[in-house]
Chain A
Amino acid sequence: GESVGLHLPTLSVQEGDNSIINCAYSNSASDYFIWYKQESGKGPQFIIDIRSNMDKRQGQRVTVLLNKTVKHLSLQIAATQPGDSAVYFCAETHSGNTPLVFGKGTRLSVIA
């Protein structure tokens, strides 16, 4: 996805609802994708990753879906909690050894 954005899209959800954060990536050669969570004033925190030979991967309360046909990645958070409020970035790389390229990011705001 594009690595520069002037404004972060914002997603507001009610506590307890499920959240879906989307990301479009641009490099069809990318084969490894990661979702990061970034809280204010901190570095990105790894959430979940997926390789291009998979289309779905589940973690604890999170699921990542990969659609290579349309170059789309999504992060689903189940039963969203106030602590999930942060900016979420998708990142892509090729063969794992090249630098990560970050998407624009989405700010998730959880309404208690």
Chain B
Amino acid sequence: GAVVSQHPSWVICKSGTSVKIECRSLDFQATTMFWYRQFPKQSLMLMATSNEGSKATYEQGVEKDKFLINHASLTLSTLTVTSAHPEDSSFYICSARGGTGGSPLHFGNGTRLTVT
């Protein structure tokens, strides 16, 4: 089945530094990937839609200059949290759709970001 790999699985960084999270579709091409954020005991909140070869579409309230998304190939999307602050500490999860519209989304195993 479709596999989405996310790296790193966890990261600890200091306030003010930037962190890059990678999301790869391992056995399929994904023109569109989605980035979600999840706080403890809460549901997944969509942050942005990443489109290969074009600018990402951000949800309302998500700062595009803080959460930089790059989707340079059909198998890789990256999310960079710039100038991270403790309130950015969260579980970040990417997803991709294997196949045409109507196929289920497959998710990576998430990245636990802790900003100290």
Segment at the A interface, from B12-20, B38-46, B68-76, B77-85: B38-46
Within 1-59 of B, Cβ neighbours of A (below 8 Å) are at 4, 6, 32, 34, 36, 41-46, 49
From known contacts A3-B43, A4-B45, A43-B93, infer whether A96 and B34 are also in contact, taking CB-CB under 8 Å.
Answer: no
Quick check: B6 and A43 within 8 Å, CB to CB? yes
Q: What number of residue pairs across chains A and B have CB atoms under 8 A from each other?
A: 71
Question: Which of A6, A34, A41 touches B104 (beta carbons < 8 Å)?
Answer: A34
* A96 CB contact (under 8 Å) in B46, B101, B107, B108: B101
A99 interface residue (CB < 8 Å to B): yes
Write the nearest CB–CB distance from B50 to chain A, whole angstroms.
11
Residue contact A34 to B105, C-beta cutoff 8 Å: yes
Q: Which residues of B contact A (CB under 8 A)?
A: 4, 6, 32, 34, 36, 41-46, 49, 93, 95, 97, 100-110, 112
A4 proximity list for chain B (CB < 8 A): 42-43, 45
Pairwise interchain contact A105-B43, C-beta atoms closer than 8 A: yes
- Using a CB–CB cutoff of 8 Å, the interface residues on chain A facing chain B are 2-8, 32, 34, 36, 41-46, 49, 51, 89, 91, 95-97, 99-105
Interchain Cβ contacts under 8 Å between A and B, 28 examples: A3-B45, A3-B46, A4-B42, A4-B45, A5-B43, A6-B41, A6-B42, A7-B41, A34-B104, A41-B110, A42-B110, A43-B95, A43-B107, A44-B107, A46-B104, A51-B102, A89-B44, A96-B97, A96-B101, A96-B102, A97-B32, A97-B101, A97-B102, A99-B34, A99-B46, A100-B46, A101-B46, A102-B36
B26 to chain A, nearest CB (A): 14
The B contact surface, by secondary structure, is strand
With A34-B104, A46-B104 as contacts: A41 and B43 at CB distance below 8 Å? no
The interface residues of chain B lying within 8 Å CB-to-CB of A8 are 41-42
List the 3 closest pairs (A to B, CB-CB), nearest first: A96-B102, A96-B101, A43-B107
